[in-house]
Amino acid sequence: MSAPRQTWPETFAARYRAAGYWRGETFPALLRRQAATRPDAIAIVDGARRWTYGELHRRAEAHAAGFLALGLAPGERVLVQLGNVAEFFSVVFGLFRAGLLPVYALAAHRLAEVAHLARCSQAAAYVACEHYAGFDYRPLARALRAEAPALRHVVMVGGELIADADGFLPLDAVTGTGPLPDDPDPASVAFLQISGGSTGLPKLIPRTHDDYIYSFRASNEICGVTARTVYLAALPVAHNFPMSSPGHMGTLHAGGRVVLAPAPSPEVAFPLIAREKVTLTGLVPPLALLWMQAATTTAHDLSSLEVLQVGGAKFAPEAARRVRSTLGCALQQVFGMAEGLVNYTRLDDPDAVVIETQGRPISPDDEVLVVDDLGHPVPDGTPGHLLTRGPYTIRAYHDDRAANARSFTPDGFYRTGDIVRRLPGGNLEVQGRAGDHINRAGEKISAEEVEDHLLAYPAIFDAAVVAMPDPLLGERSCAFVIARTPGLKASEVKAFMRGRDIAPFKVPDQVVLVDAFATTAAGKVSRKELRARLRDMLIAREKETA
């Protein structure tokens, strides 16, 4: 089996190659080049561990041979659920080298999400930290084996596994010296990223060597990333923002240094910035607020920090204005999506652009359309639905006909689900979401998915989940619930949800019990309309009592 190829029509692919975007570079070649040109430069810093490019390359090659020796065949998928640890890099570069496709789960995911990802990708192996951020992944791995029959191997990073009754393999045992395949076709899929999940569970996003490497190589130019860059990965390394905008992959492509933060809090990150002389990092807005507050009293020297990127959710202009005076660095806003398109404010943009907009696309060939509900383009300055296609935006999800029909126009534009205003000059201002997803501190939550979990509770008759404005999180989730049995308490609903083996950020922040959902005279209300009404009602009620 070999990895699937890109899904851009050949005319577009030819154009992207001719323009020099797709250069035929692959992930294995990227690391080999760095190991040859700067073998002793530090690539990864994880606590007291410092791996040079040479060492990262050696480890990746050993793991590549080790994975193949397990009987995994090029083209097969491997579910990777690792936190911000050095092994994330030796594992994924090892998989790339073996022609295996990593599927990226977030460390915060639990059985519900991980089992879904394993099944959709038909993952042949699962790699996880034994413990990370206070969570033991072994029971999850055991349960996963029962739910994902295609899974043949479980590999654990760290911990004390030696003779393990479950048959889990320690990563140290997944090494070898056997022959490795030729480099993959640059037009083939390198890995499967996961979507923020606008409806239902996360979808799989196939990204090719050509398109993804272009996105971070071009990002490096926009963000000034070079061999002297020290990038702090404060957000989860598996997320697309810290991975490629330009993130750790961009930094490694430039020969810079990636410093891993085990948590994004100022208490953990500030000492690392001072010790490692970090020059660049990226945060979601609620963390940026925490950092700005902590910076006013910190004893740590943050003066090495040149640029703070903020993205994943809307950064309010009032907060954006305070970045330089509190943290002493420049702000860059980043508006991107795992499906592709990434927008940046530029480092030499006037303050008004940096503070009030979410920037403009990476590529001259990123096509951006802003349309009304009927699909007709709206004039600049008018809010509308953002559609896009281009040299690093996917044309289809992995193996999901229904989602593809919904999410892409017949001529290949991705429907982002975002409502934006395009300003003269091309910068975009994000206004919100058209769909029913909650952007909780950059974590995307599907209303439908949470409603499904709520409906699994026998005491619940019906449920509708909506986004509520929140001063710290940007948005929080509120579940409106109609009880089947009288006396149901909000705390019981939350406790039930905590027991559902879902990522903790999906447990509703607020549960409101109601007797019924209002319907029209005809008794017909779409879910979308219902959610909007409930949300407006609660906002009005909160304003009254404020």
Taking the C-alpha atoms of residue 484 and residue 383, their distance in angstroms, rounded to an integer, is 41
One residue of 312, 340, 361, 390 binding ligand OOB per CB under 6 A: 312
Residue 420 binds ligand OOB (CB under 6 A): no
Q: Which is nearer to ligand OOB, 32 or 239 (CB)?
A: 239
Residue 176 binds ligand OOB (CB under 6 A): no
Provide the minimum distance between the beta carbon of 312 and ligand OOB in the complex, in angstroms, as a whole number. 4
Q: Which is nearer to ligand OOB, 154 or 192 (CB)?
A: 192
One residue of 333, 345, 357, 363 binding ligand OOB per CB under 6 A: 333
Site stretch for ligand OOB (CB under 6 A), options 223-231, 264-272, 312-320, 516-524 = 312-320
Q: What is the DSSP string of 153-177?
A: EEEEESS--SS-TT-PEEGGGS---
Provide the minimum distance between the beta carbon of 282 and ligand OOB in the complex, in angstroms, as a whole number. 8
222 membership: H or E segment, kind and range: helix 209-223
323: left (phi over 0), alpha (psi -120 to 50) or beta: alpha
Closest residue by beta carbon to ligand OOB? 336
Tell me whether strands 125-129 and 153-157 are parallel, antiparallel or unpaired. parallel
Residue 408 binds ligand OOB (CB under 6 A): no
Site stretch for ligand OOB (CB under 6 A), options 67-75, 116-124, 305-313, 400-408 = 305-313
Q: Which is nearer to ligand OOB, 106 or 481 (CB)?
A: 106
What does the DSSP 8-state code read for residue 144? Answer: H
Residue 388 binds ligand OOB (CB under 6 A): no
Provide the minimum distance between the beta carbon of 433 and ligand OOB in the complex, in angstroms, as a whole number. 6
Q: Give the side-chain half-sphere CA count within 13 A for 171.
A: 25
Residue 334 binds ligand OOB (CB under 6 A): yes
Q: Which is nearer to ligand OOB, 331 or 430 (CB)?
A: 430
Site stretch for ligand OOB (CB under 6 A), options 28-36, 47-55, 388-396, 436-444 = 436-444
Residue 286 binds ligand OOB (CB under 6 A): no
Residue 311 binds ligand OOB (CB under 6 A): yes
Residue 320 binds ligand OOB (CB under 6 A): no
Q: Under rule CB under 6 A, which residues in 239-268 are in contact with ligand OOB? A: 240-241, 245
Provide the minimum distance between the beta carbon of 428 and ligand OOB in the complex, in angstroms, as a whole number. 9
In Å, how far are 179, 184, 208, 467, 476 from 532, measured between CA atoms?
Answer: 58, 47, 38, 9, 15
**Nearest one of 281, 283, 324 to 474, comparing CA atoms:** 283
In Å, how far are 261, 287, 302, 545 from 295, measured between CA atoms?
Answer: 17, 12, 8, 34
Q: Which residues pair with 335 in a beta bridge?
A: 343
Residue 188 binds ligand OOB (CB under 6 A): no
Query: Which residues neighbour 394 within 8 Å (Cβ) at sequence distance 6 or greater?
Result: 7, 205, 206, 207, 339, 340, 414
Residue 314 binds ligand OOB (CB under 6 A): yes
Task: Give me the 444-463 binding string for ligand OOB, x by CB under 6 A, dash otherwise.
Answer: x-------------------
In Å, how far are 13, 351, 364, 374, 440 from 16, measured between CA atoms?
Answer: 5, 33, 11, 30, 35
Taking the C-alpha atoms of residue 356 and residue 257, their distance in angstroms, rounded to an integer, is 31
Residue 358 binds ligand OOB (CB under 6 A): yes
Residue 345 binds ligand OOB (CB under 6 A): no
Q: What is the largest CA-CA distance in the chain?
A: 73
Residue 397 binds ligand OOB (CB under 6 A): no
Using CA atoms in the order 393, 396, 397, 402, what is the torsion angle rounded to 10 degrees? 140
Using CA atoms in the order 512, 447, 287, 536, what is the torsion angle rounded to 10 degrees? -50
In Å, how far are 237, 268, 306 from 264, measured between CA atoms?
Answer: 11, 7, 18
Residue 219 binds ligand OOB (CB under 6 A): no
Residue 416 binds ligand OOB (CB under 6 A): yes
Site stretch for ligand OOB (CB under 6 A), options 98-106, 156-164, 168-176, 439-447 = 439-447
Q: Which is nearer to ligand OOB, 398 or 433 (CB)?
A: 433
Q: Which is nearer to ligand OOB, 99 or 442 (CB)?
A: 442
Taking the C-alpha atoms of residue 271 and residue 233, their distance in angstroms, rounded to an integer, is 14
Query: For residue 13, what are its two tokens?
Result: 């692919």
Q: Which is nearer to ligand OOB, 334 or 354 (CB)?
A: 334
Give the chain's length: 546
Backbone φ, ψ for residue 124 (5° rounding): -95, -20
Residue 415 binds ligand OOB (CB under 6 A): no
One residue of 78, 337, 354, 478 binding ligand OOB per CB under 6 A: 337
Rg (CA), the chain: 23
Tell me whether strands 367-371 and 460-470 are parallel, antiparallel or unpaired. unpaired
Residue 433 binds ligand OOB (CB under 6 A): yes
Residue 335 binds ligand OOB (CB under 6 A): yes
Q: Which residues contribute to the site for ligand OOB (CB under 6 A)?
A: 195-196, 240-241, 245, 311-314, 333-338, 342, 358, 416, 418, 430, 433, 439, 442, 444
